[in-house]
Chains A and B, each alone.
Chain A
Amino acid sequence: MPARRLRTLAAATIAPLLAVLAGCSTGAAPAAEAAGEPRSGGALTWAVETEPITLNPHQYAQAKARLLVWNTFESLLTYDKQGKLVPWLATGWQAAPDGRSYTLTLRDGVTFTDGTPLDAAAVKANIDKLREPGYAPGVAAVQLRNLKAVEVVDPRTVRLILTTPDVLILDFLASPQGAQVSPKSLREAKNLKAGGVDVVGTGPFVLDRYVPGQELHYRRNPGYDWAPPTATHTGPAYLDEITYRFLKESAVRVGALTSRQVQLVEGVPATDQPLVTANRTLRLTRELNSGSAYSYYFNTSHAPFDDLRVRQAFREAVDVDTVLRSVYRDTATRAWSVISPSSPLYDKSLDGGYGGDVAKANALLDQAGWATRDAEGFRVRDGRRLTVRLVQAAPYVRDRRDVLAQAVQAAVKQSAGIDLKIALVDQGTATQAFERNAYEVFDNSRADTDAGAALNLLLHSKGGINRTRANDPRTDKLLEAGQATADQAKRAGIYAQLQQRVVAEQALVLPLYAPADQIAASTSVGGVRFEPTAGVPASAYDLWIGR
């Protein structure tokens, strides 16, 4: 039986690989570092997939740019491993009992790399700038929607006054958009919105060279002494210099790594991972992103997904595990909810609750009136085929999501006679389809640190990207309550109810996988880390070169 032997062989090859993957995906204990003890000095080169559109953190919009932001800029707060907010440039914060204001105390002795001290006036200058018309419309309209004013109480104390209780303002203070830029830069930088060497922060590195299309070069900030509690050391960074080179092709990134032209790369697709794991001088680490899972959102505003049974049937028609395995070779983590499993707000009770039941899918479609099939095997009702359109905007297709769509397409056709039409188009065409309501399936994942921020956009009836076009008062109420409640346990309860509502009861989404980031690095590099909660590669602060 050659087929069986092949399978055994495949299993024998894959099993150790999986063991390696599993072994290295845990939070690396410093003791196990192959690079030995941390030491100071040296220069590293890191190949990244994406060139940032802007280097100004206030304008930040690309998850792939996060690892660069924190080299030069810092926020008032940050998240620890448990997803709890902890101080950074602020030493602490206090919410008023009515939740309508937050008072933050700033750390002493922090200076921007142009010499300007970080004080309450600087923080106010940053937030005021963000609310200036035409500067950062997205931040002003979403994160700072409920902010009324910023008050300088004294040089070390600043107060944010809100129009309504809003705990997500704290997430803003921990986000790249909330990072502190030198007020001098805000006034004088030549191309402020684009950022660059003249837009400076308080971070452990200073950007001293940017060659667009090629690389970013940072050197150590020798005066740095205010590392967040989540870092593994204090004082200045270990590295003297670090260069990030933009190499967009994954094969080229991995090739540059194996030929030692670079020491670290991020963005290692499943197909290239064996190349890294087979090499004993390299190490692969991966971590799940926070925020919302990569999901298909069903447009409920018209047929056929206005019928709950059809939405459920679509989910039952896909064996997500099989689809993921065929596309990602066991490197993808299945998602069961619209929230990523790595988020503290994730509701575990949804695991295994639905999906992959072909008989049920067919029964549901029969009940919904799609009982007959045409010559090609697709279901029809009143002479119309059961067709649903997925519109993917090419600039946002990553992780081979176009291939994944084809696998889902084949699955729903074969198991339930659903015709999933995929259109891979430019951004303009996609937006037009969304505006004209000419789609039934929308795919999306967001890497927000607080999943609540993502869900506000995706699920609220007035949300900016509410592509399910759902208009459910209960969902809105839960989202608003989640944003207004400061008690973490209570919040988790609210978002659990919300997930039950949209995933289990309403079947608004088909969650597919939790996006992950990968870093492949030479074993001589120590301190390779992911940012807690966000799950994306961390800044270069903790990196060092071993012997």
Chain B
Amino acid sequence: MENLSPKPYRLIPFPKDTSGNLLALAKARPAGLDRYKASHYTGKIALQLNVHTATTVLSGITVLGSDIAAKIPKDSLVKTAISRSDQLIIPGSSLKGSVRSIHEAITRSCICKISRNYKLNKQQVKIKVPEGYRECSPQNKDIRDRNVELCPSCQVFGAINCEGIVSFSDAICTQKTAIKFVPSLYQPHLEKEDYYSNVKENVVGGRKFYYHFTNSIHEGEKGINTQLAVSESCFVGSLQFVNLTKAQLGGLLVALGQDQNHQFALKVGTGKPIGMGSLTVDISEMEIWTRSGAGNIDNDIVPHLRDRYTRYTLPESNQLTGEPLKQFMQQMIQAAHRELIQEPQLKQLAEVLKFPTDRAAPSGVY
């Protein structure tokens, strides 16, 4: 039996042309890491993640309450979050996963990770992906021969045998951790019809994203105390990138919710159906280098890699900040809209991930 509250998520359908046919993946050669390429950008973005609802990435370890906090009853159990020196951490891998899944949905990218089958009435049911949308999985040999094409997300975030060209550092919480009750969540039901565009054939119809809610739910019959970062705390991290084109850098910024016309928050960590893990991203600093040819308009604000590699001591500040940074980001985002972004998908996703929101977290069965 389903509960009556609306579903906490929505499926973003795969991109289609005007007559309703699926668009093919926009495959191209990955840039590679063997050199810094001309007319590409390499650098680092400082990320501030503002916590709006309780957020945690669990360590997988459960301890006795008395071991981590005096206020928790001695014999009660607490699920711990990943932390370092008592500061909570969002591992780079979690942040990357969250941004990547957005990027996949708003570009013509493969279905990167999906379960192969599920059991129904003791029968294995095979799950199918639409024609041509299977995960890019280049062979090692093809990578060596530089003879490989990948979808937009795999080009940037990496694929099997092919390293990505962006990397997310661990983000570290600047405030004290808290402990709150988190109700138990049910596993998604893979047989639910609304996951499929062709129910009879078990062909999946889109990518699942949870809505943001005004609050997260911390009560219920079953559940466990959990270590987490409360709203209004903040995590600090960074993102390193190598050899991104304008459109790729713009696409990454859009996926981080930085498009002024499509601002949204990320969902990270555990408890997404009950409103947890809502984070907005602030970017106030970017270090950026290029090896551009003549006539490139950003030559005067973006330093040249040749200068980096002909001197040992670098100028004090290579950071782009303030208005120049804003303009630069908008330039990149415009390029992404021209070359990369699927507008209907971005529009729908921005609606699901809209923040702030007035949706209240659903109660009852999750």
Partners in one complex: no
Interface residues of chain A, those whose CB is within 8 Å of chain B, are none
